[in-house]
Amino acid sequence: SCIVGYAMYYFTYDPWIGKLLYLEDFYVMEPYRGLGIGSEILKRLSQIAIKTNCSCMHFLVVIWNKPSIEYYVRRGALDLSTEEGWHLFRFDKENLLRMASGE
């Protein structure tokens, strides 16, 4: 047997929705796509989320990755950037240092 895909996840908490499973990374090697492996991984993640009392699963997909977006939407995922108007922001190290020093 060999590894052909993986999912990296952790648990986090949102004050509005409670505990959630955050899917940090999800990948199936290209030659093994279309064989149901991704669906099995998502099934297992869903079982873990339900078993650990999560109210949902969150994850990011880059805007240009149309096949992945379609894959998730077909399975019932909501695009929060269009549904709820959320935007992802980042403070880089330089700005963290500036804020931390009180500037």
Q: Which of 9, 27, 71, 72 is catalytic?
A: 72
Beta-bridge mates of residue 59: 23
72 is catalytic: yes
The DSSP code sequence of the chain is ----EEEEEEEEEETTTEEEEEEEEEEE-GGGTTSSHHHHHHHHHHHHHHHTT-SEEEE---TT-HHHHHHHHHTT---HHHHT--------HHHHHHHHTT-
At which residue do the structure tokens 């330089």 appear? 94
| Residues labelled catalytic | 72
